[in-house]
Amino acid sequence: MIRCAIIDDEPLALDLLEGYVHKTPFLQLAGRFDNALSAMEFLHHNQIDLFFLDIQMPALNGMDFSKMVGNKAKVIFTTAFQQYAVEGFRVDALDYLLKPISYQEFLEAANKALRWFEMSAKQLPNQVTEDAIFVKTEYKLVQIKLADILYIESSSDYVKIFTETASAPVLAQLSMKIMEERLPSDRFVRVHRSFIVQLEKIKTIEHNRIVFGKTHIPISDSYKTQFFGFLHGRSLIK
């Protein structure tokens, strides 16, 4: 799904575009705003992939907003003024829709965005750098700091990456085998066929389970020797 938001100071335009978003299966509406300042504040704390953005608005116009957003999100302009078209493409907008906007026009622009996100995801493989991992999730490539990872859980053909800072895990189409091979072996250890944990994040172990808040991760017999071998050099208990 592409997480999108609508910014327009006209209530009727907001309602129309929201209806279009709900009709489009690969779009998820994360927010609607009647001014760009509120949207900017929202973006500081939330992930947005795509903005449907009006240009002429009070306080902060859409063109200036798009320049401030930079590469944090892509933009499709929705405006009643054709003279902004050239400038719109100069700021790397995906498309430029002239009001009144039909659903067919909206869908064509949304499909252009979908193709862009799909191509972007294919350009860079899942990879690990010295301090971060890049994973493909839905239609985007996400960077996750290694120092932020608590543990990883397998889920069918996907993995869930749980971090200290995010309220929900990142879902990536990867196998546990690939994760285990690519993560630094001196920092991450597999403790169960369904779990990989970061050693330095472990605070409590009880009854052969690693405790992360309300989550208890089992240490299976298959991985017990390896895991406690990692801990042996760090323990003061004989």
Count Cα atoms within 13 angstroms, Cβ side, for 140. 19
Q: What is the pLDDT of residue 28?
A: 94
Which residues, listed in sequence order, are joined to residue 50 by a DSSP beta bridge?
4, 74
How high is the mean pLDDT of the chain? 85
> 56: which DSSP letter?
-
Which residues, listed in sequence order, are joined to residue 44 by a DSSP beta bridge?
none
Residue type, 170: V
What lies within 8 Å, CB to CB, of 42 at 6+ separation is 5, 31, 33, 48
- Asked if residue 35 lies in contact with residue 55, where contact means CB atoms within 8 angstroms, the answer is no
What lies within 8 Å, CB to CB, of 128 at 6+ separation is 134, 146, 182, 183, 184
- Asked if residue 197 lies in contact with residue 204, where contact means CB atoms within 8 angstroms, the answer is no
Domains of the chain: 2-122 (3.40.50.2300), 127-232 (2.40.50.1020)
Q: What is the pLDDT of residue 139?
A: 63
Angstrom distance (rounded) from CA 178 to CA 39: 37
Q: What is the pLDDT of residue 226?
A: 79
Ranges of the chain with pLDDT below 70: 81-91, 121-130, 138-140, 233-238
